[in-house]
Amino acid sequence: MTSAMEGTSANASVAPDYSSRRGQIHFWLRRIHSLAGLAFGGFVAVHLMINATGINGVMYQQEVNKIHDLGPNLAFVEFTFIFLPLLIHVLYGLYATGAGARWNAVHYNYGGNVRYTLQRVTGLILLVFLAYHLATLHRWGLALIYDLTHWRALSSFPWFRPHFAYASTVDAIKTPYGKNPWFWANIISVVLYLLGVWAAVFHMANGLWTAAIAWGLTVTASAQKRWGNVCLAVGIVFAIVGTIAWASFTILGHPAPLPPRHAHGHGTMVERGPVYSAPLRRAIPQLSAYSYGISARTAIETAGAAGRPV
């Protein structure tokens, strides 16, 4: 006999194991997931704003310099405020998403349900994107391996180089596979970045909205709607900021060639901002004025003094 049959005749269903300890741990994990999301979301917000300065390569370089001025502390900061929250958020998020939920936004295509589904879909997209992002751009990815091994095969792959912040970023995003790219590979990379940015912004804004319910900040339908509008505004602002950031390094990004990586430390190289198209240059003369030939020597010299690789 199935459990359903037994349940009907004796009016009792199978009593699940509701060990309160397990439930309590789950409860706290969920709340920590929420806090971690907020922390990481904060980082993403700052990240997007800084990258939006990529519309002006010099300003961007200055921002990057500020961050890298943290020196050896940077790793600590990055681990504590970025990677640890991210790890918690991702691990629990994966568990929650995979815990047998049945998405049903096809039949129940209400706004809330679509957002619920998108939150999970964007979470998964972001997972892929972050892996790609780290692997292609960050020194903890390919760069780290290169630094450790000086494997020549990797030398043609670009990645982020703090002292050539703008140009190296553009290269890493647009031509991540080096000098011999498959044409579509680079386009996919660029598109993936846009998708990643938008997914992040949605996930962040919607997460902000649901967190307020989970913590019990917004209770009434009208409060949830009100806060929803705030989150929407936040989302729109960051979508714009994020898109500017993306554009700065992709469709607007035509920097001068970077020096070879083994040429670091000599302070002779010049960082270049984006090369704007003629109409845009005319439209934003002050930006284009910054676009050419501004020396990054000072930055490089500072870096050299600190003994960091460039």
Partner 1 sequence: MAHQRVIVVGGGLAGLSTSMKLAEDGVAVDLFSLVPVKRSHSVCAQGGINACNEVARQQGYSEWEHFDETVFGGDFLANQPPVLEMTKMAPAIIDLLDRMGVPFSRTSEGNRDLRLFGGSLYKRTFYAGATTGQQLLYALDEQVRHHEVQGHITKYEFWDFLAPILDDAGRCVGIVAQDLRTMQIRAFRGDAVVMATGGNGLIFGQSTMSIICTGSGTARCYAAGARLGNPEFVQVHPTAIPGEDKCRLMSESARGEGGRIWVPKKKADSRHPNDIPENERDYFLERLYPKYKNIVPRDIATREIFYICEQGYGIGGGQMVYLDLTEKATGIPYEVLKGKLGGILEIYEKFVGVDPLIEPMRIYPAVHYSMGGLWVDFARDDKTGGMQKANPRNHMTNLTGLYAAGEADYQYHGANRLGANSLLSCIFTGLFAAPGMREYIKGQRPVAELSQRLFDGGVEQQQAAQAKLLNSKGTDNPYLMHRELGRAMSDNVTIIRCDSKLRQTLALIESLKERYQNNLGLPDSGMWNNQSLGFARACWDMLLLGEAVTTAALAREESRGSHYKIPDDLMDRHDIPLEKRSLPRDDGNWLKTTLVTYVDGKAQLSYEPVDTSLVTPRARNYGKVVAPAAAKAPVPEAAGAGT
Partner 2 sequence: MISPAESTKSIRLEILRQDTPSSQGYWQTFDVPITPASNVTSLLRTISGRPVTSDGRNVAPPAYEASCLEEVCGSCTMVINGRVRQACSTLVRRLMAESPGSPITIEPMTKFPVIRDLIVDRSRMFENLKRIKAWIPIDGSFNLGAGPKITPEQQHTMYPLSRCMSCGSCLEACPQFTRDNHFLGAQIFSMARYYNMHPNGKPDADARMEVLMGDGGITDCGNSQNCVRVCPKDIPLTESIGVIGRSATVYSIKKFFSK
Binding site for partner 1 (CB under 8 A): 5, 8-9, 11
Pick the binder of partner 2 from 168, 175, 189, 218 (CB under 8 A).
218
- The residue (of 115 and 264) whose beta carbon lies closer to partner 2 is 115
Long-range CB pairs of 187-194, under 8 A, 24+ apart, other chains included: 189/136, 190/250, 190/251, 192/129, 192/132, 193/129, 193/133, 193/246, 193/249, 193/250, 194/243, 194/246, 194/250
Our CB check for partner 1 shows the closer of 6 and 301 to be: 6
Q: Binding partner 2 by CB under 8 A: which of 13, 155, 229, 295?
A: 13
By CB under 8 A, residue 268 contacts partner 2: no
Q: At its nearest, how many Å lie between partner 2 and the CB of residue 29? A: 8
Please report how close the Cβ of residue 21 comes to partner 1 at its closest, in angstroms. Answer: 23
Which lies closer to partner 1 via its Cβ, residue 6 or residue 69?
A: 6
Whichever of 15 and 99 has its CB closer to partner 1, that residue is 15
> Which residue from 97, 263, 124 is spatially nearest to 196, judged by alpha carbons?
124
DSSP state of 267: S
Cα–Cα distances (Å) from 252 to 26, 60, 236, in that order, read 46, 14, 21
Smallest gap from Cβ 14 to partner 1, in A, equals: 17
76 binds, among partner 1, partner 2, none (CB under 5 to 8 A by kind): none
Residue 143 CB, nearest approach to partner 2 (Å): 38
The answer to whether 277 and 258 have CB atoms below 8 angstroms apart is: no
Cβ neighbours of residue 215 closer than 8 Å, sequence gap 6 or more? 31, 34
Which residues make Cβ contacts (< 8 Å) with residue 57, sequence separation at least 6?
A: 165, 166, 167, 255, 271, 272, 273, 274, 290, 291
Please state, in angstroms and rounded to a whole number, the distance separating the CA atoms of residues 142 and 146.
Answer: 6
Judged by beta carbon distances under 5 to 8 A according to partner kind, the member of partner 1, partner 2, none in contact with residue 9 is partner 1
- Return d(Cα 139, Cα 120) in angstroms, integer: 28
- Provide the 10 A C-beta neighbour count for residue 10: 8
Specify the residue, 4 or 221, whose C-beta has the smaller distance to partner 1.
4
Q: Answer with the entry of partner 1, partner 2, none that 112 interacts with (C-beta below 5 to 8 A by kind).
A: partner 2
For partner 2, the binding residue among 31, 66, 282, 297 (CB under 8 A) is: 31
Chain residues 78-137 in contact with partner 2, contact rule CB under 8 A: 96, 99-104, 106-108, 110, 112-113, 115-117, 119
How many residues of this chain interact with partner 2, rule: CB under 8 A? 53
Cβ atoms of residues 245 and 51 within 8 Å: yes
Residues near partner 2 (CB under 8 A) are 2-5, 7-8, 11-13, 15-20, 22-24, 26-28, 30-31, 96, 99-104, 106-108, 110, 112-113, 115-117, 119, 209-210, 213-221, 223-224
